[in-house]
Chains A and B, each alone.
Chain A
Amino acid sequence: GQSLEQPSEVTAVEGAIVQINCTYQTSGFYGLSWYQQHDGGAPTFLSYNALDGLEETGRFSSFLSRSDSYGYLLLQELQMKDSASYFCAVSSRGYASKIIFGSGTRLSIRP
């Protein structure tokens, strides 16, 4: 089967750096994605890793280690608008692919 684990809540200070970890168990791993969702909104894509290493997109970076079944999302220069839920999601390869989301990490930013 497939499962993901990520912390349920994280609190950080405006301007700081925060890391949200994600560990997964899956067969036929293809890639790890990260999504942001504000209350009442739809998930929006942040980053995708199919290979080991770091992907950087502006203030957001994502890391993957396939051998450790582990990834993280790094948010730098935190802004109040970054307060949201963050989801990691794994996708499986194959004709009948599945995308499994974690239960989400609620990030709260303090002034």
Chain B
Amino acid sequence: DAGVTQSPTHLIKTRGQQVTLRCSPISGHKSVSWYQQVLGQGPQFIFQYYEKEERGRGNFPDRFSARQFPNYSSELNVNALLLGDSALYLCASSLGVAGSDTQYFGPGTRLTVL
């Protein structure tokens, strides 16, 4: 079975631009969570979606938004990019609600903001 997939692998943007990151969960998984990881730190929780509903939100500004589609794939959107948004963006899927179930991480999207 395929694991969690994310696209693109790498992305370079300039300040003020907008970006969309995509995630496909493991088949049968209904929960997708998004994390931001800066080098040398742990993943920071951004969003969790379960059955297409937002079920958790971290301390990120409204420039960050996400959605989950009927096939359980998900997109993370970031508007008005700042230099500080440069990071590895990780997507994780789980069968049930994340936190009560094992999460499986994708390889991540490396975003660089210039």
**Chain A residues packing against B (C-beta within 8 Å):** 30-31, 33, 35, 41-45, 48, 50, 87, 89, 91-93, 95-104
Chain B 77-88 interface 0/1 with A at a Cβ cutoff of 8 Å (1 = within): 000000000000
Known: A100-B45, A103-B42. A42 touches B105 (CB 8 A): yes
- Verify A96–B56 contact, CB threshold 8 A: yes
**Chain B residues packing against A (C-beta within 8 Å):** 33, 35, 40-45, 48, 54-58, 90, 92, 97-100, 102-108
- Verify A87–B43 contact, CB threshold 8 A: yes
Contacts of A43 in B (CB 8 A): 43, 90, 92, 105
Known: A44-B105, A95-B55. A87 touches B42 (CB 8 A): yes
- Verify A91–B90 contact, CB threshold 8 A: no
Of all chain B residues, which has the CB nearest A91?
B99
A41 to chain B, nearest CB (A): 8
* Complex A-B: 28 CB contacts under 8 Å: A30-B99, A30-B100, A31-B99, A33-B102, A41-B107, A43-B92, A45-B104, A48-B102, A50-B100, A87-B42, A87-B43, A89-B42, A91-B100, A92-B99, A95-B55, A96-B55, A97-B56, A97-B97, A97-B98, A98-B57, A99-B45, A99-B56, A99-B98, A99-B99, A100-B45, A101-B43, A103-B41, A103-B42
